[in-house]
Amino acid sequence: MLSKTNRLKRKKDIENVFKRGRGFKEGFLILKIIKNNLKNSRFAFVVSRKISRKATLRNKIKRKLSELVRLKIKRVKGGMDFIFVAVPGLEEKDFWEINETINKLFQKAKCLEE
């Protein structure tokens, strides 16, 4: 689980990322990013009911995404807000396929430190 300082919770902040953020798509994931005025990066995960009507499956996908991001958080540049949006089809992917997709998204966005 991500620490509280790395979670993007406020509705106003999330709307700001959706309105002004840059978007990247890879496979069944969309990444929206925008700079913030903080030292650390914050993350949010959106899994709509289009993926599954069952909340348990949607939450399971969010937990997978959160864990994969937590493992990479030390390499991610600070001072940015990220939103991962799941696209239908992601529920069929396993942990390692999602991991590869997240790696490709971070590379596209150029937000990993060398």
Please tell me the predicted confidence (pLDDT) of residue 18.
95
Pick the CATH number of 4-109 from 3.30.70.260, 3.40.50.10790, 3.30.230.10, 3.40.50.1440: 3.30.230.10
Please tell me the predicted confidence (pLDDT) of residue 81.
95
* Helix-, strand-, coil-residue percentages of the chain, each rounded to 5: 45, 25, 35
CB atoms within 10 A of CB 51: 18
Please tell me the predicted confidence (pLDDT) of residue 88.
95
Q: What residue ranges do the domains of the chain occupy?
A: 4-109
For residue 101, how many C-alpha atoms fall within 13 Å in the half-sphere facing its CB? 22
- With a cut of 70, list the residues of the chain below it in pLDDT: none
Alpha helices (H) in the chain, listed in sequence order: 11-20, 55-72, 95-109
Please tell me the predicted confidence (pLDDT) of residue 64.
95
